[in-house]
Amino acid sequence: MSRPIALVTGAASGIGAASARLLARDGAFVYCADRDGPGAGSVAAEIGSPSAAPLWLDVTDEAAWATAMQTILEAGHLLSVVVHAAGISAAGTVRNTTLAEWRRVLAVNLDGAFLATRHGIEAMHQQGGAIVLVGSASGIRPAAGAVAYSASKAGLAMLARTAAKECRDAGVPVRVNVVSPGGVKTPLWRAMPFFQELVAQHGSEDAAFAALAGSGPAFATAEDVAQVIGFLVSPAAAQITGVELPVDAGYVL
């Protein structure tokens, strides 16, 4: 059986980095893709050259996607897994979010996911494979004060369902699913001003995460989410497609 070839976006940190490590441990060769070239290189080096390689990729740029796919093909590799973990956070209500900010968030979180899905299906339509998009519980249960982020993540569910149905109806052996975490301890939070204030108030990031969780579910780790992604791209999930799977300890209930 040939070795799985995986492309993981957002692989420089957080869920993307954890997913790249897990897939490599499970036997895949992983392309660690990110706009943060040094970060992707660091994760690939940690995994080791027999199992990983860094790949520069701006997920909002279709030409960059074409170049990335060509690089993989020229290396003699046929993709069988795409994990799209690249994303950005943003705080803002409907009233105070500018159109420019709205477009910036959707460009990364939704346009990027569309391009990952489109190019992933194109690359895998003959040999088959699996695509997992990383959504958010905030795309299922509204998050007041994060309108662009919640809307961008909500769109992933219908993107995955539509792509999965199109693949099924056309006999294309590619599965498309979404994993939607609740609170996860990742560097994404550091860009949020209110989180910076919580860190200053409580003295550490761990204390800030605890304060955010309050009486609700505890924050997950990136590795917790990566385990679910690893399952969805594995043969054990061969009958699962077009599904959004919350990984949120019941937050959306």
**Interacting residues of 231 by C-beta distance below 8 A, sequence separation 6+:** 237
Model pLDDT, residue 36: 97
User: What pLDDT score was predicted for residue 185?
Assistant: 65
pLDDT at 237: 98
DSSP class of residue 4? P
Q: Give whole-number Cα distances, 35 to 13, 54, 157, 172, 236, in Å.
A: 11, 10, 24, 30, 32
What is the residue-wise DSSP string for 82-105? EEE-------B-TTT--HHHHHHH
Q: Which domains does the chain have, with CATH numbers?
A: 5-185+221-247 (3.40.50.720)
Other beta carbons within 10 Å of 191: 12
Question: Per the structure block, which two tokens stand in for 123?
Answer: 């690359």
User: Which residues belong to the active site?
Assistant: 149
Q: What is the pLDDT of residue 171?
A: 98
Q: What does pLDDT average to in each consecutive run of 10 residues of the chain (253 residues)?
A: 91 96 97 97 95 97 97 96 94 93 97 98 97 94 89 97 98 98 70 61 71 65 94 98 93 84
| Per-residue pLDDT, 209 | 67
